[in-house]
Amino acid sequence: MIPAIYSKLKSIVTHLCQTFKVFGETPKTGRPQKIPRVDALALSLYQHRSARATKKSVYEDFENVLKCSYKTLVVSMNKAGLASLKLLFVIMRLGKKHAHPVKCTDATDIPVCLRKNADSHKTMRQFAGFGRSSKGWFYGLKMTMTRDYEGKVLAVRFTAPGANDRDIFRKVNEDINGIIVADAGYVSKQ
Q: Are residues 91 and 105 in the same domain?
A: no
Q: Is residue 85 within 8 Å of residue 52, measured between CB atoms?
A: no
Q: Are residues 179 and 106 in the same domain?
A: yes
**Cα–Cα dist 137/114, whole Å:** 10
Using one digit for the tens of pLDDT, what is the confidence trace for 141-172?
999 999 999 989 999 999 999 888 889 999 99
Look at residues 29, 63, 95 and tell me which one is the last residue of a structural domain: 95
**Cα–Cα dist 140/156, whole Å:** 16
| Cα angle: 62, vertex 80, 111; to 5 degrees | 95
Look at residues 95, 119, 154 and tell me which one is the last residue of a structural domain: 95
Residue 29 lies in domain: 4-95
In the chain, the number of structural domains is 2
Q: Are residues 137 and 90 in the same domain?
A: no
Q: Are residues 86 and 16 in the same domain?
A: yes
Q: What tens-digit pLDDT sequence spans the chain (190 residues)?
A: 788 999 999 999 999 888 888 887 777 788 888 999 999 999 999 998 888 888 999 999 998 989 899 999 999 999 888 888 888 888 888 888 888 999 999 998 998 888 888 888 887 788 889 988 888 888 999 999 999 999 899 999 999 998 888 899 999 999 898 999 988 777 766 5
pLDDT of residue 188: 62
Look at residues 95, 115, 141 and tell me which one is the last residue of a structural domain: 95
